[in-house]
Amino acid sequence: MNKIKNICICLTGLALYFSANTSMASEVITKADAKRPNILVILTDDMGYGDVGFNGAKDIFTPNLDQLAAAGTRFDSAYNAHPFCGPSRAGIMTGRYPHKFGSQFNLPTSNRSGGIGIPVNETFISEELQDAGYFTGAIGKWHLGEEAQYHPNNRGFDQFYGFLNGGHDYFPENFKAAYERQRKRGMNHTIFHYLRPLERNGVEVDETEYVTDGLSREAQGFIRQASKNKQQPFFLYLAYNAPHSPMQATKDDLEVFKHIKNEKRRIYAAMVYAVDRGVKKIVDTLKETEQLDNTLIVFFSDNGGRADYGASNFPLKGVKGSVQEGGFRTPMFFHWPQGVEAGKEYIHPISTLDLYPTFASLANAKIANTKKLDGKNLYPFLANNKSARPGEMIYALRHRKGLSQASARRDNFKAINVGKVWKLYDIEKDPGEENDLSEKYPIILREMVAEMEIWSWSNTQPLWFHIQKEGFEWREKSMPRFHETFALPKLN
């Protein structure tokens, strides 16, 4: 009875919220006050900006993603909180830049991620939604900690299926055989984590399908399970590991792309296509269970693609790991028939950090006053295409050996330093970062660099490093060396 009462209170609060924002909402969006939406996040791994049809891909076919994008709102300038996977995912889950709580590097490669993970005092969006009455599930790649206190089931997810580390082989017949060989040799604590069995809620399982297909199957199962109680909305975080390495595709998917002569590109395309096939099955399941109309589907990648593995970030410069556009700008859309306008392009810069407050608002979740967030609630700004952060910055900061690469976007301008020289671009007109405007607008550049330097002062030292050598170099090179990162020549 209390649960029903709480749901009624939440629905009333949501209706009041949208009523108060009618000036910012279109007619189609105001339908959303009737019921809190299901939220389905579909996250790919290392997908290039230009590797989906709705972002201009010509050789890779993604008809199902394209259909969803066309029937929803597409984001032209969506950015991740970091240009590689672990910190990026930490940002998604916490709504904060990973630099603020020491998660600037991927977790250690050692067994069980060195026994560490994202600090438990950082409340995940899954915990907020679970507390708000959502049925929650995580499927696929986790990469946020493997010990019990960091496990998805202890970070707000009722259900988990997948793997806890940063990647996995795709063909069970191969990874199971390799795992058994290493286990029989007594390598229990040193078996390569890409070979370990997948798990369901902490219990190892025998996956028999190509892993991308297995994750799609599990997403369908979760949706069907959720449909049994339609009074309770669901939150599903579906984190595909495709098209992340190892580059492994099915014969049938490779056949679809026989027109691509470059072998790396062909395998990569087939891996993306497997995701697209899975998305069709998931959408069909939402239709079958009569949940599609009130499900917010959010699609994006965790960072840019790797050209050396066949990805393309065209027309952007840079690749995964870079603070250039191609490193952390992602293809992205919202699809929600009852709440998001169809056929629209939102042109203003957004961050994946914005998902936390947006989801919380839609769910009428009560975020604690002590919770610090770096994102914005996007929803009120979508209908009239107004910026959610006029005059405010989106940051990217990547530490490399002996230097820190940094960039910041404010409205149409982007300041960037990938060596020891700051440059300025009008990123709306010049997404390829070709025409440096630092001499034309020196004051704008200085203001942006100064603002980012202030932001950096509240960053914390890394709690871990991906490999021991990185930690040694951090100390040897007196990192992060911000006195060099934010240095500018004197004005004439």
* Tokens of residue 75, six digits: 């984001």
Q: Quote the pLDDT of residue 491.
A: 85
Identity at 293, one-letter amino acid code: D
> Could you report the per-residue pLDDT of 336-376, keeping only the tens digit for each?
999 999 999 999 999 999 999 999 999 999 999 899 999 99
Three-state DSSP state, 214: helix
Q: Do 312 and 343 belong to one domain?
A: yes
Q: Do 434 and 286 belong to one domain?
A: no
- Answer whether residue 17 is part of any domain: no
Select which of 10, 82, 99, 143 is catalytic: 143
Q: Quote the pLDDT of residue 268.
A: 98
Whether residue 483 lies in the annotated active site: no
- Answer whether residue 271 is part of any domain: yes
Residue that terminates a domain, selected from 382, 403, 427:
382
- Answer whether residue 18 is part of any domain: no
- Is 348 in contact with 386 (CB distance < 8 Å)? yes
Q: Do 202 and 309 belong to one domain?
A: yes
346 forms beta bridges with 75
Low-confidence ranges of the chain (pLDDT < 70): 1-34
> Could you report the per-residue pLDDT of 388-418, keeping only the tens digit for each?
999 999 999 999 999 999 999 999 999 999 9
> What value does the CA radius of gyration of the chain take, rounded to a whole number of Å?
22
Q: Quote the pLDDT of residue 8.
A: 41
* Tokens of residue 397, six digits: 């900061």
CA distance 338 to 320: 35
CA distance 108 to 165: 10
Chain-centre distance for alpha carbon 75: 14
CA-based nearest residue to 334, from 362, 365, 372, 373: 362
Instruction: Please state the pTM of the whole predicted model.
Output: 0.92
Q: Do 469 and 360 belong to one domain?
A: no
Q: Do 49 and 154 belong to one domain?
A: yes
Which DSSP symbol is given to 464? -
**In degrees rounded to 5, what are phi and psi of residue 237?**
-105, 100
Q: Is 217 exposed, middle or buried (0-12, 13-18, 19+ CB in 10 A)?
A: middle
| H helix intervals, 321-432 | 325-328, 355-362, 379-382
393 forms beta bridges with 410
Q: Do 286 and 401 belong to one domain?
A: no
Select which of 10, 85, 244, 348 is catalytic: 85
- Answer whether residue 338 is part of any domain: yes
- Answer whether residue 22 is part of any domain: no
**In degrees rounded to 5, what are phi and psi of residue 177?**
-65, -45
Residue that terminates a domain, selected from 328, 362, 382:
382
**Any idea what the CATH number is for the domain that residue 423 is in?**
3.30.1120.10
Q: Quote the pLDDT of residue 427.
A: 98
- Answer whether residue 4 is part of any domain: no
Q: Is 20 exposed, middle or buried (0-12, 13-18, 19+ CB in 10 A)?
A: exposed
Q: Do 341 and 319 belong to one domain?
A: yes
Identity at 304, one-letter amino acid code: G
- Is 222 in contact with 152 (CB distance < 8 Å)? no
- Is 115 in contact with 105 (CB distance < 8 Å)? no
Three-state DSSP state, 321: coil
Whole domain around residue 104: which residue ranges?
37-382
Q: Quote the pLDDT of residue 15.
A: 41
DSSP E strand boundaries for 219-353: 234-239, 295-301, 329-335, 344-346, 350-351
Q: Do 238 and 188 belong to one domain?
A: yes
Mind spelling out the 3-state secondary structure of 371-388? CCCCCCCCHHHHCCCCCC
CA distance 326 to 358: 25
Q: Do 346 and 399 belong to one domain?
A: no
Three-state DSSP state, 398: strand
Q: Quote the pLDDT of residue 25.
A: 39
Q: Do 68 and 198 belong to one domain?
A: yes
**In degrees rounded to 5, what are phi and psi of residue 226?**
-65, -30
- Answer whether residue 3 is part of any domain: no
Place of tokens 């991740």: 80
Q: Quote the pLDDT of residue 24.
A: 37
Whether residue 85 lies in the annotated active site: yes
- Is 300 in contact with 236 (CB distance < 8 Å)? no
- Answer whether residue 24 is part of any domain: no
Q: Do 355 and 443 belong to one domain?
A: no
**Any idea what the CATH number is for the domain that residue 143 is in?**
3.40.720.10
Q: Do 403 and 362 belong to one domain?
A: no
Q: How many domains does the chain have?
A: 2
- Is 207 in contact with 214 (CB distance < 8 Å)? yes
Residue that terminates a domain, selected from 353, 382, 411:
382
